[in-house]
Structure 1
Amino acid sequence: MWSWLKMSFTGALEVLIEMKNQDVKFTIDTYVLAFGICYKLNSPESFKICTILREEALLKGEILSRRASCFAVALALNQNEVAKAMSIFSQIMDPESITCTNLNIILHIQLNMLENVIEILKNATEGNLSKYVKRQVFSEEVLAKVREKVKDVPALVAKFDELYGKLHVSGQVTTYSLDAVLCHIPGGRKSHMFLLNKRMVSRRTFQPLGQSLLAE
């Protein structure tokens, strides 16, 4: 199943790369799709392509949505490019979303800033818990990663367990994985999945399109 999906993602990415090589202007949603596909492929090459597309977009003054940036951050983290992930995350204008909340925790975990993680969770439990105020929500999967990191530090694990209980009581924990949160499609968005069925070879070079982009 994964093999088939990987081929589909690769084919869609190749179409997007050819569009870029032919100077077709990307929309905000096109960048979301491109970065999302790169994230799903999760390879050194897809990370390189994502980085090139992002840097070109910024040089041209094009707008990259928070959603696109989150995919880029997640891909960088998966490729152990923590400094790059931190740089991209710091440029997100409005990081107040469930995706950003959980990516921020993963960033701090990979930087081994465990006390900062505990402080983030503490602030989330001590904020205004009125039902009319949007509260930070944490993925159960991400919280499990936190516990795994602090388990050998008695003082921190005790604090974490206390905060974990408070987050559950206040309804600030979701069973959705970080991947599910990242890939959630907001209502009303048009699907671009037709790209999965498009051609997979450049008409100009008759070479894989990834090679065409990286050669330019």
Structure 2
Amino acid sequence: MVQSVGTMALARVCKCCRPVVKESFKGLLCRVLQPGWIEGGKTAKRHLLSEDIIRLQDFQERKLAVGYFVNGLNGNFIDLLSEKLQRNEQIYSRDLKILLHSCQSADDMKVATEAIYRYAENTTFHQFKFGPLFIRLCYELGQEDLAAATITDQSMKEFFNDATSFNITTDMLFTKGSYEHALKIIKTMKKRGVEFTKDTFILACGTCYKLNTPESYRICTALIDEAESKDLPIPRHAYSFAVALALRQNDVEKAQSLYFQIINTDSRIGQNLRVLILAMSGEVAEAVSILSAAHLYKWPSFVKKPEFCQEVLDLLCLRSEDGPHMMKVKKIVRHLEEANQVTQQTLDDLLCFTPPGKREQPLVERRISRTVKAVI
């Protein structure tokens, strides 16, 4: 007898301030801030959500437990569900829970997709939220297009009514570089009135930053302005993306305004953005002051010294070329290099990082039967 199952088992552009600078400030600025050059040749897939949110490992562990359980059934469970769908029978929660923990291939996903549509058609009260479960399954099997198509289907509005499903789908598309589709997910979420979480703001601003178009800039600033008007908490990471996007769009004034909304700007991202803003606004002397303070401060041995991106320093050097502060810029950059406070990580590298999540608690050995029992 089948029982119900729950949710289981800038590369270095040039040597700074070299005698002959052939590249214009505008040209270098484009290289620093344009995503195509920043990401050229990189293959790493960077997520904006932590494992605490995606919970892929937890999902896979539960799949293993369910797999152990369904092996004792007569016949292949997915085939049994497929036959049930062909007979146009209703799909119940217990069936769907087991099915979504049993799929291993694209063919299996066809059955799962048909099953969730059948379930959504015949169920008006969803006691269990299946949205995140289906999206995590898509995540595991690399079915981001299926996830995007399903979650944006108006007929599945009630099935996907939680922020987690939208956030994971957006993160999936972000890692694949499908930024247009990721933005469509954000727009759908907004249109349906699904409440934005802190993770949503990070994903939305990050996606707009990657797109780097006038339209994505308008959407990003509109989301920030609306959230501020409602006193909603906006993460520092989201603000940082918005600042970088404003700089890409050459809106230094807006970038400064957004930057000053960040409560703590002592991070590497914050300090690099600040120097970049000052360089672009022509305030070279103040930029030198910030760099000098970071170099001269007596940092404790257990505290990592501030690091500045080579690309940001290159732009500052070029901006100060033939100006009154050129020698000061050369000197402080040389000192930073000698102190190992210059990094080849790009600003994009710093912005597109995967949060570490919460520290994992020591794992306690559990029996499979106990795991299954907890979710049936």
Query: Which residue of the partner structure matches residue 158 of structure 1?
Result: 327
- Give the Cα–Cα distance (whole angstroms) in 2 for the partners of residues 157 and 61 of structure 1: 43
For 2:264, which of 94, 114, 131 is the aligned residue? Answer: 94
Same amino acid, percent of matched pairs: 38
Consecutive unaligned residues in structure 2, runs of 5 or more: 1-35, 37-172, 359-376
- The residue identity in structure 2 corresponding to 1:156 is H
Normalised TM-score (structure 2)? 0.47
Aligned counterparts of 2:330 and 2:319: Cα–Cα separation in 1:
13
Question: Is the aligned partner of 1:115 residue 2:300?
Answer: no
Output the amino acid matched with 2:261. Q
State the alpha-carbon separation in 1 of the partners of residues 270 and 202 from structure 2.
15
Superposed CA offset, 1:6-30 (max 9, x none) = 9710111111111011110111011
Structure 1 or 2: larger helix share?
A: 1
Q: Aligned pair 1:28/2:169, yes or no?
A: no
Counting only pairs closer than 5 Å after superposition, residues 51-70 of structure 1 correspond to structure 2 as 51-70=221-240
Is residue 349 of structure 2 the alignment partner of residue 180 of structure 1? yes
Residue 134 of structure 1: how far off its partner (Å):
4.1
* Residue aligning to 1:167: 336
1:77 corresponding residue in structure 2: 247
Aligned partner of residue 245 in structure 2, secondary structure: helix
Q: Which moved more, 1:126-135 or 1:95-104?
A: 126-135
Deviations 1:62-94 (A, max 9, x none): 111100000000001110111111101011001
User: Which is worse superposed, 132-141 or 78-87?
Assistant: 132-141
Q: 1:105 aligned to 2:275?
A: yes
1:87-124 residue CA offsets vs partner (Å, 9 max, x unmatched) = 01011001111001110011101110011111111111
Tell me the SS of whatever aligns to 2:345: coil
Give the structure-1-normalised TM-score: 0.81
Give 1:98's aligned amino acid. R
The amino acid that maps onto 1:110 is M
How far has the Cα of 1:174 moved from its partner? 0.8
- Match of 2:298? 128
- In 2, distance between residues paired with 1:60 and 1:162? 46
Matched pairs, number:
186
Cα displacement string for residues 159-215 of structure 1 (whole angstroms, at most 9, x for unaligned residues): 2222112212222111001111111222238xxxxxxxxxxxxxxxxxxxxxxxxxx
Q: Tell me, which stretches of 5 or more residues in structure 1 are unaligned? A: 190-216
The answer to which of 6-15 and 85-94 deviates more is 6-15
Moved over 3 A (4+): 4-7
Distance in 2 between residues matched to 1:174 and 1:129, nearest whole Å: 18
